[in-house]
């Protein structure tokens, strides 16, 4: 995860784990502490409604950022969302739009490849 406007990344070294959530149409949803570590709160943020599966509507704070998929040498830009009740990092359909994902339950891995025509 990266804030390209202020040159801040999280984590500074290594990778992070995110849950792929195909029911989330957004880009990336992170905990408030990560949003602040990326200094996204210092940018011009916006607010968007999120409609949850249980029928509730919550307000998400969002700011521009990027995700780097190191194994594919791919960087994708989008709006990173946060909310006070977020407990895990979710990557949504907008975040994986340039990837082909293959779930291999036998080996318990997720394989990725870059789309030829995004």
Structure tokens at 39: 């200094």
**pTM of the entire predicted model:** 0.88
From the number of C-beta atoms within 10 Å of its C-beta (0-12, 13-18, 19+), residue 65 rates as buried
- Residue 78: its pLDDT value, please? 96
Please, what is the Cα angle at 106 between 103 and 112, to 5 degrees?
25
Interatomic CA distance for residues 38 and 105, integer angstroms: 33
- Residue 20: its pLDDT value, please? 93
**What is the domain count for the chain?**
1
- Residue 70: its pLDDT value, please? 86
Segment 51-54 long-range contacts (CB within 8 Å, at least 24 positions apart): 53/23
pLDDT 10s digit of each residue in the chain, 118 long?
A: 999 999 999 998 888 889 999 999 999 999 999 999 999 999 878 999 999 889 999 999 999 999 999 888 899 999 999 999 999 999 999 999 999 999 999 999 888 999 987 6
CATH code of the domain in which 104 resides: 2.40.70
Interatomic CA distance for residues 16 and 28, integer angstroms: 12
Domain span holding position 19: 2-114
- Residue 12: its pLDDT value, please? 85
- Residue 118: its pLDDT value, please? 61
């Amino acid at each position: 995860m990266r804030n390209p406007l202020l040159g801040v990344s999280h984590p500074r070294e290594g990778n992070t784990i995110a849950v792929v959530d195909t029911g989330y149409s957004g880009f990336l949803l992170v905990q408030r502490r990560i949003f602040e570590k990326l200094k996204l709160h210092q940018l011009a943020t916006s607010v968007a409604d999120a409609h949850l599966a249980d029928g509730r509507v919550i307000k998400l704070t969002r700011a521009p950022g990027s995700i780097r998929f190191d194994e594919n040498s791919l960087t994708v830009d989008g709006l990173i969302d946060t909310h006070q009740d977020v407990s895990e990092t979710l990557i949504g359909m907008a975040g994986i739009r340039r990837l082909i994902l293959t779930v291999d339950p036998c080996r318990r891995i997720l394989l990725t490849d870059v789309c030829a025509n995004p």
